[in-house]
Amino acid sequence: MLALIQYGVPLRSVQLQPHCWRLVEEVAVAALRLLLLLLLRLLLLLLLLAPVEAVVQVWVRGHHGYWNARQYRDTHIWQYHYQRLYLACCHD
């Protein structure tokens, strides 16, 4: 039967005994159940790891909440340019 599917023969045109169709149906249902189980496990794993990831990020970033000096600079670049403009133009 798999050879027929591989060569593009539609399943509707294949004449199988009823017990064969039940077997095909059972295999399909088992595959869907397995896929659903794997998806549920992945979802549970993500839900359990989300708080752990948040704690690790706080520990790695420190109390400022930035990964490194470059991220801090890029986040506050407007303050940097404003300070340079103020010092260049408005400061004695």
Q: How many helices (H) and strands (E) does the chain have?
A: 4, 0
**73 and 42 co-located in one domain:** no
What does the pLDDT look like over 18-53, one tens digit per residue?
A: 777 788 888 899 999 999 999 999 988 888 877 776
| Structural domain of 91 | 66-92
pLDDT attached to residue 7: 67
**41 and 82 co-located in one domain:** no
**41 and 55 co-located in one domain:** yes
Contact of 67 with 60, CB cutoff 8 Å: yes
**86 and 56 co-located in one domain:** no
Contact of 48 with 33, CB cutoff 8 Å: no
Terminal alpha carbon distance of the chain = 88
* C-alpha span between 44 and 35 (Å, rounded): 14
Contact of 67 with 61, CB cutoff 8 Å: yes
Which of the two residues, 51 and 91, has the higher pLDDT score?
Answer: 51
pLDDT attached to residue 32: 94
